[in-house]
Amino acid sequence: MGSVEPQYQSLLPTLDSHTRITHLSSQAIEEFLQQRTVPLRWWPRLVAWESRLLWLLSWASIIVSLFNFMLSFVTQMFSGHLGAVELAGASIANVGIQGLAYGIMLGMASAVQTACGQAYGAKRYSAMGVICQRAIVLHLGAAVLLTFLYWFSGSVFVAMGQSTAIAEQGQIFARGLIPQIYAFAICCPLQRFLQAQNIVNPLACNAVGVFFVHVFLSWLVIYKLDYGLLGAALTLSLSWWLLVILNGLYIVLSPKCKETWTGLSISAFQDIWPYFKLTAASAVMLCLEIWYNQGMVLISGLLPNPTISLDSISVCMNYWNWDIEFMLGLAAATSVRVSNELGAGHPKVAKFSVIVVNGTAIIISTIFSVIVLCFRVELSKLFTSDSEVIEAISNLTPLLAISVFLNGVQPILSGVAIGSGWQAVVAYVNLVTYYIIGLPIGCVLGFKTNLGVAGIWWGIIIGVVFQTLTLIILTSRTNWDAEVEKAARRLNESAREGLESLPNP
């Protein structure tokens, strides 16, 4: 093999053993990857090493993401059996109001993922609790503002061109979700705080447990107590508060958080502006992405025969959201891996993690696309027995399959951006590709051709393609050594505990 540098040679005996490679530290792998040439036979073992770490985080993150989403999914399924108008009202409230709030809260919480992830990688544990509390303060402020939108949502729906009947049902559902906003405001930062520490198993257990409780309560409230759409919404709000209570109790009581959570601190209200800038950039980045898909659903309600159009695209969006939530779980694990490794000063491992997770995501998305095409009719019957709606959904599933495949890369690259602190840059990318390119094309195809709702969906696909290509270019041109230096600079520029790990947006 020729001459080998001493630090490279010291790793050879370890990497020759399949049983011991899993025990190597990130520092050892970083030293190994820094060499000019890595023998080909070791790449499968390195991929296995990274995949193991990734899936230890991912499986629980995916469960959390999926089961949190399925709370709304189950509620919408129960609402659909109340009638077509009730389903349309619940759909538009879920997409136009709940989706808006969740996008804001989830986007703001990605700042917790960046800041706490890099702080954890750099072993600056005491800053993490203050960061989480500061995030909750900002989230609650956003929740207060969103309350007015929820309460007057009926007028908003009518102003957007929705029918009076759909707007009325949507407002009933949205008002029942007002308590949920405040649960979002606390739960999202708590989840990201735990994920940044690689504490994901308790989150998964809580998510699964609350989901089954929610299914029972939804059945009881809608079918037995006959509380209708308002009862369905209030049940969903209650389930999210159960998540807040369970996650909060774990953080306060678990010995695993004793170094990162040292109790409430007045520092959460001090020097809040630098963190607000990162939070705002994070919220804009993710909201532009979430609102793009949801905005297309709202636009479909303006087409001829809006009930069929809205029902068909919202059902397809629900299945796409399943895939998105799966990939968001994988992306959350990716952002934790990247932020931890950058904080620890391991640029090669961070880059390698990005490569491995993208390859994994593409394989998974291909499988999901095939499933969608094979079971197009069966999937639609879970939501409705209306033959016209079932046919409309079946006609859209090829476009759904394309979107699912594209979703194999885009959320993962967004996770890389969150882990690296690029939220502001990606926000501009989303603005251009989604709203300047994709949205106008979708409107033209939907309203000026005979494609209808399919034309709107083609606009979604085109916007995602341009956004994905842009993120691929940005990621491929990244200087990971420079990213480590930026992370170290962010951690050392401030002497204030709680701000020391904050990246600048």
Q: Which pLDDT band, with edges at 50, 70 and 90, does 343 fall under?
A: confident
Q: Are residues 238 and 303 in the same domain?
A: no
Q: Are residues 473 and 438 in the same domain?
A: yes
For residue 75, is pLDDT > 80?
Answer: yes
Q: Domain containing 88: what range?
A: 68-270
Distance CA 363, CA 135 (A): 35
- Where among 228, 246, 270 does a domain terminate? 270
pLDDT digits (tens, 9 = 90+) for 17-38: 444 555 666 677 777 777 667 6
How do residues 455-483 score in pLDDT, each as one tens digit? 888 888 888 888 888 888 888 877 777 77
**Greater model confidence, 450 or 191:** 191
Q: Are residues 379 and 261 in the same domain?
A: no
pLDDT tops 90 at residue 245: yes
Q: Look at residue 452 and tell me whether its pLDDT is greater than 70.
A: yes
Give the model's pLDDT for residue 426.
76
In-domain check, residue 311: yes
In a domain, 433, yes or no: yes
- Non-local (6+) Cβ contacts of 183 within 8 A are 237, 240, 241, 243, 244
The full DSSP string for 218-284 is HHIIIIIS--HHHHHHHHHHHHHHHHHHHHHHHHHH-GGGTTT-----GGGGSSHHHHHHHHHHHHH
Q: What is the mean pLDDT of residues 352-376?
A: 83
pLDDT for the residue numbered 214: 92
d(CA 329, CA 181): 21
Lowest mean pLDDT among 278-282, 367-371, 461-465: 278-282
368 and 490 together in one domain: yes
Q: Two tokens at 125?
A: 């544990």
- Contacts of residue 425, defined as CB under 8 A and 6 or more positions apart, other chains included, come to 417, 474
Q: Which of 235, 270, 305 is the last residue of a domain?
A: 270
- Residue pair 69/322 in contact (Cβ under 8 Å)? The answer is yes
Q: Report pLDDT for 241.
A: 95
Question: CB under 8 Å, gap of 24 or more: what pairs does 28-31 form?
Answer: 29/346, 29/348, 29/349, 29/352, 30/346, 30/347, 30/348, 30/349, 31/7
What domain count does the chain have? 2
**How buried is residue 17: exposed, middle or buried, by Cβ count under 10 Å (0-12/13-18/19+)?**
exposed
Tens digit of pLDDT for each residue in 283-318?
677 777 766 766 666 676 666 666 666 667 767 776
DSSP code per residue over 353-393: HHHHHHHHHHHHHHHHHHHHHHTHHHHHHTT---HHHHHHH
- DSSP-derived secondary structure letter, 304: S
Query: What is the percent of the chain with per-residue pLDDT over 70, rounded to a whole number?
Result: 75
What value does the mean pLDDT take over residues 473-498?
Answer: 64
Burial class (CB in 10 A: 0-12, 13-18, 19+), 435: middle
Closest CA relative to residue 50, chosen from 419, 294, 357, 454: 357
- Return the pLDDT at 360: 84
Q: Look at residue 504 and tell me if it is in a domain.
A: no
How many Å apart are CA 367 and CA 405, to the nearest integer? 9
In a domain, 48, yes or no: no
Has residue 309 been placed in a domain?
yes
DSSP per position, 18-39: TTTGGG--HHHHHHHHTSS---
**What are the two backbone dihedrals, phi and then psi, of residue 212, each rounded to the nearest 5 degrees?**
-65, -35
Output the pTM of the full model: 0.72
Most confident of 215-224, 323-332, 347-356, 421-430: 215-224
How many other CB atoms are there within 10 angstroms of residue 145's CB atom? 10
Residue ending a domain, choose from 243, 270, 297: 270
Name the least confident of 32-41, 190-199, 424-433, 453-462.
Answer: 32-41
SS3 152: coil
Q: Are residues 265 and 289 in the same domain?
A: no
